[in-house]
A and B are shown apart, each in its own frame.
Chain A
Amino acid sequence: MTKPSETTVDELVPIFFMGKKYDVPASLTIQKALEYAGYQHIRGCGCRGGVCGACGTVYRLPDSYKLQVGLACQTVVQPGMHLMIMPYYPGNRSTFDIEELSGTGAEVAALYPEIFKCIGCNSCSQGCPMDIDVMHYMAQAIRGDIAGAAETSFDCIMCGLCASRCPAEEVQFNVAILARRLNARYGIPRAKHLEERVKEITDGKFDEPLRNLMSKSKEELKELYKSREAEPQMTEEDWTPQDARYV
């Protein structure tokens, strides 16, 4: 096992970080390549695993006019690439009290009226490092299809690259999380079993069985642990245990 810095050195290729040339091993991600070059990231580095949105990166390759995007922690360097990590992009956010909303498209439109300025140019989708169809969820939000917008945007890491590309000055990622929260809260039924279980606990149903467990010796606990009945892997929801004293 090695730390990331001890990765085997292979062929060096030139990259240009904000215009400055560094020769880095060809197999490294942009993030590790910059560390190899001597950087200690402060901004622009988070989970190092592609889920947190800290290291959205824009780059261009030689012989192409295309502007490309990726995450610095997930994108392997390419010879001659010019790149910039964009750790932050300003985005307006409307505050709300989720208890006072009801999950309608009109509420999204009231909190983010600028969604109707979307010109459908698709720059946002092209600028998404998670391959999310951003323009599509914006269209869904405009139509009031909150469930659709929630589903389409589910993988959003809120890096802000979509907003950076938008000629209509939208803040897509904030619209998206509003849609997801409204859909989860109001578009999908609440879990009744949760409600029921919380009430059982409040009523003290498990206090005594648990206190009883807490007073047992390690050996007694081991026996109870070994003999506990296991729900089989492939059963459906309707499985019930033979011993129903504590459920």
Chain B
Amino acid sequence: MPYPESLKKLIEKVEATRPARVERKKNDKEFPPLKLEEREPVLRNFHPDFIEGTRREIKVGPSKGYSISNEVVDILEAKSRMNPDLVNLSEPDFETDVLVIGAGGAGTAAAILAAENGAKVMIATKLRHGDANTMMAEGGIQAADKVGKDSPYYHYLDILGGGHFVNDPELVYTIVQNAPDALRWLEGLGTNFSKFEDGKMKTMHGGGTCRKRMHYAADITGAEIMKTIRDEARNHTDMIDVIEFCPAVEIALDDQGRCVGAVLYNLETAEYLFVKAMAVIMATGGSGRLHIQGFMTTNHYGATADGLVMAYRAGVPISFLHTVQYHPTGVVFPEQAEGILITEKFRGAGANVLNVHGEQFVYEREPRDVEAACIIRECSPKGRGNGVPTPTGKFGVWLDSPMIDMLKGEGTVRKEFPGKHILFRRFGIDISTEPMLIHPTLHYQNGGLDINNQCETNIPGLYAAGEVSAGIHGENRLMGNSLLDVIVFGRIAGTQAAGYIREHDDAGPANLDHVKRYNKEVEAAGIKEDRIAPMILPDYSNPEVREKQLTKDYFGTLS
């Protein structure tokens, strides 16, 4: 859908202010960023985390009493999908050394490293190998590798500032110190980073960075990384098996409380299958498809927090889930593309964010939570009410992509942002000459399962890496640190799990007692709603159709 006349009129206001804004940018005259102490009131008044009535305390499990989003509590205060008494754990359907649950960036990196360290690996995944938020990450991956102007020291400070200074210091230390080596690993596998002719990496700013350390592969950095490491995993056919469309639904423990496998659900044959393993790596990613507070999301179809549920039931505490990341720039028009991520790299390359009058109201490179809150303030009738109205009655603000061609030469948008250029072209919009209409969109699960710097959870033999884990990003992740997170901690988890199995080959018989206990705890807590989890797939079917789906175990409906 090209822009209708009403929006084209408003774009004229953007065009009117553009030449002066480009001039200012060329002279490094930026819209003033908020001071550290000015961030707090904007967040408190306009960030969705602070809206009353959207959180409640969890009544069960290891982090009982912790207050987080209702949607996450709903799936934690839920019973197992299956009757734990009916699964036969004494005759495993598969046996492996290391079971990796989830086949995104973290799971795939973990599998490769575990295999290289001598472990037989099985990757079990809900959808296809590579179906994950990693594939959808666009803007870049951080690493402080520009010798002479940047270092892990500044990367550390940036991460802490973005995360409100409450991040786990050991995890931050680990990510910044391992970042350059993670990039070198990806480079060696043949990942097409954007480079200068001499091989030097091109790097840009992201929100909240003090040095340009965002490495990228045009505007499809995550896809490029995911495709490359998935291809590499496929070179290890002797060591890595992948089983697709078979999500894990519970992990299994032995008599000493060690993790010794998981129960999978074959989405196509409806069988429950037991995989016996000596160690398990949880790499199931995030939870955008829970649509917290009804927000649209940038996340993959499979982002339903399955791993969080499974591990929590088994006793792994959770933290940093009281904050949720809303990406400042999701598509709000055309409606068909609603919620789709517009990479922060546009702002890193200089595109201003503008209100209905074509005026700047926020520095475009604030940390994500601050940027999102300022945009919501601009759009909200309770705030400044300067949003751009869309034909469907929503509000957004402009992201002025045509500035980039004026700053960096004609053709830059097409060349540096081919993914988004094609996407909008399909709808009759040329983003090298017309701005995009955007609004914050649900993007990232800042917290999750507690881990240490070896990716160990409190359950021996159970590791976690990537978006499912907590602490690295504190209360707000900066751009480019999630791709880094999945590679750095995925590799650590794989290496550690392979090391663990060399010393622990004496697993006792597997059981699901913790699931039975948890089911009882849910009942005892007086939770009346008959919810089951993990969710596995979100349900977008038409409510009128759903009412007629009378068979309880209807094939296509999973909840």
The answer to whether A and B belong to the same complex is yes
Cβ-defined contact, A27 with B335, below 8 A: yes
> Given that A52-B136, A93-B234, A158-B227 are known contacts, is A42 also in contact with B556, CB under 8 Å in the complex?
yes
* Distance in Å: Cβ of A214 to nearest Cβ of chain B: 4
Cβ-defined contact, B336 with A49, below 8 A: no
Query: Among A57-65, A116-124, A219-227, which stretch is in contact with chain B?
Result: A219-227
Task: Give bound CA distance, A183 to B423, whole Å.
Answer: 26
Cβ-defined contact, A191 with B145, below 8 A: yes
Residues in chain A near residue B237, CB distance under 8 A: 95
Cβ-defined contact, A228 with B190, below 8 A: no
Query: Among A13-21, A136-144, A163-171, A238-246, which stretch is in contact with chain B?
Result: A238-246
Nearest A residue to B184, CB-CB: A194
> Given that A197-B144, A239-B149 are known contacts, is A155 also in contact with B537, CB under 8 Å in the complex?
no
Task: Give bound CA distance, A48 to B542, whole Å.
Answer: 18
> Given that A181-B231, A184-B190 are known contacts, is A210 also in contact with B156, CB under 8 Å in the complex?
yes
Task: Give bound CA distance, A241 to B211, whole Å.
Answer: 9
Nearest B residue to A35, CB-CB: B540
Task: Give bound CA distance, A242 to B365, whole Å.
Answer: 22
Instruction: Give per-residue flags for B127-167: 1 if the beta carbon is below 8 A from chain A beta carbons, else 0.
Output: 11011000110000001111111111110111011000100
Task: Give bound CA distance, A228 to B156, whole Å.
Answer: 12
Cβ-defined contact, B542 with A42, below 8 A: no
Task: Give bound CA distance, A1 to B180, whole Å.
Answer: 39
Residues in chain B near residue A206, CB distance under 8 A: 151-153, 177
Tell me if B15 counts as interface (CB < 8 A to partner A).
no
Nearest B residue to A239, CB-CB: B149
> Given that A39-B556, A95-B237, A150-B192 are known contacts, is A184 also in contact with B187, CB under 8 Å in the complex?
yes
* Distance in Å: Cβ of A232 to nearest Cβ of chain B: 5
> Given that A27-B336, A184-B191, A197-B144 are known contacts, is A74 also in contact with B295, CB under 8 Å in the complex?
no
Task: Give bound CA distance, A155 to B423, whole Å.
Answer: 12
Task: Give bound CA distance, A211 to B220, whole Å.
Answer: 35
Cβ-defined contact, B180 with A224, below 8 A: no
Cβ-defined contact, A180 with B205, below 8 A: no
Residues in chain B near residue A240, CB distance under 8 A: 148-149
Tell me if A157 counts as interface (CB < 8 A to partner B).
yes
Residues in chain A near residue B157, CB distance under 8 A: 213, 221, 224-225, 228
Tell me if A182 counts as interface (CB < 8 A to partner B).
yes
Query: Among B24-32, B496-504, B520-528, which stretch is in contact with chain A?
Result: B24-32
Cβ-defined contact, A52 with B135, below 8 A: yes
Cβ-defined contact, A229 with B210, below 8 A: yes
> Given that A40-B556, A47-B136, A50-B423 are known contacts, is A193 also in contact with B147, CB under 8 Å in the complex?
yes
Residues in chain B near residue A95, CB distance under 8 A: 234-235, 237
Cβ-defined contact, A38 with B199, below 8 A: no
Nearest B residue to A181, CB-CB: B190
> Given that A35-B542, A233-B28 are known contacts, is A192 also in contact with B192, CB under 8 Å in the complex?
no
Q: How many A-B residue pairs have CB under 8 A?
A: 271
Cβ-defined contact, B173 with A214, below 8 A: yes
* Distance in Å: Cβ of B239 to nearest Cβ of chain A: 11
Tell me if A154 counts as interface (CB < 8 A to partner B).
yes
Task: Give bound CA distance, A2 to B543, whole Å.
Answer: 14
Residues in chain B near residue A222, CB distance under 8 A: 36, 161, 165
* Distance in Å: Cβ of A88 to nearest Cβ of chain B: 8
Tell me if B301 counts as interface (CB < 8 A to partner A).
yes
Task: Give bound CA distance, A16 to B242, whole Å.
Answer: 34
Task: Give bound CA distance, A39 to B392, whole Å.
Answer: 25
Cβ-defined contact, B131 with A2, below 8 A: no
Tell me if A98 counts as interface (CB < 8 A to partner B).
yes
Residues in chain A near residue B212, CB distance under 8 A: 231
Nearest A residue to B197, CB-CB: A189
Task: Give bound CA distance, A232 to B204, whole Å.
Answer: 11
Task: Give bound CA distance, A28 to B334, whole Å.
Answer: 11
Residues in chain B near residue A180, CB distance under 8 A: 190, 192, 228
User: Which of A38, A177, A239 touches B545 (beta carbons < 8 Å)?
Assistant: A38
Cβ-defined contact, B187 with A54, below 8 A: no
Residues in chain B near residue A48, CB distance under 8 A: 300-301, 340
Residues in chain A near residue B1, CB distance under 8 A: 27
Task: Give bound CA distance, A41 to B302, whole Å.
Answer: 11
User: Which of B148, B235, B549 touches A96 (beta carbons < 8 Å)?
Assistant: B235
* Distance in Å: Cβ of B152 to nearest Cβ of chain A: 5
Cβ-defined contact, B294 with A2, below 8 A: yes
Instruction: Give per-residue flags for B529-559: 1 if the beta carbon is below 8 A from chain A beta carbons, else 0.
Output: 0000000010111110110010000001110
User: Which of B181, B211, B301 touches A201 (beta carbons < 8 Å)?
Assistant: B181
* Distance in Å: Cβ of B452 to nearest Cβ of chain A: 15
Task: Give bound CA distance, A61 to B330, whole Å.
Answer: 32
Task: Give bound CA distance, A209 to B335, whole Å.
Answer: 49
Nearest B residue to A9, CB-CB: B542
Residues in chain A near residue B419, CB distance under 8 A: 50-51, 155
Residues in chain B near residue A229, CB distance under 8 A: 210
* Distance in Å: Cβ of A184 to nearest Cβ of chain B: 4
Residues in chain B near residue A228, CB distance under 8 A: 154, 157-158, 210
Tell me if B169 counts as interface (CB < 8 A to partner A).
yes
Instruction: Give per-residue flags for A20-49: 1 if the beta carbon is below 8 A from chain B beta carbons, else 0.
Output: 000000011100100111111111011111
> Given that A194-B145, A210-B152 are known contacts, is A46 also in contact with B184, CB under 8 Å in the complex?
no
Within 8 A of A (CB), among B163-211: 165, 169-170, 173, 176-177, 180-181, 183-184, 187-193, 195-201, 205, 210-211
Task: In the A-B complex, list the 10 residue pairs whose CB atoms are closest, starting with the nearest.
Answer: A181-B190, A189-B199, A38-B545, A246-B153, A185-B190, A225-B161, A35-B540, A5-B540, A184-B190, A214-B169
- Pairs across A and B, CB under 8 Å, 21 listed: A1-B394, A29-B336, A37-B545, A46-B301, A49-B298, A74-B423, A98-B235, A155-B220, A155-B422, A184-B228, A188-B199, A189-B195, A190-B199, A194-B184, A213-B153, A218-B165, A222-B36, A224-B157, A237-B196, A240-B148, A247-B150
Residues of A within 8 A of B (CB): 1-5, 7-8, 27-29, 32, 35-43, 45-52, 54, 74, 76, 93, 95-98, 130-131, 150, 154-155, 157-158, 177, 180-185, 188-198, 200-201, 206, 209-211, 213-214, 218, 221-222, 224-226, 228-234, 237, 239-241, 244, 246-247
Residues of B within 8 A of A (CB): 1, 25-26, 28, 30, 35-36, 127-128, 130-131, 135-136, 143-154, 156-158, 160-161, 165, 169-170, 173, 176-177, 180-181, 183-184, 187-193, 195-201, 205, 210-212, 218, 220, 223, 227-228, 231-232, 234-235, 237, 245, 267-268, 291, 293-296, 298, 300-302, 335-341, 350, 392, 394, 407, 418-419, 422-423, 426, 537, 539-543, 545-546, 549, 556-558
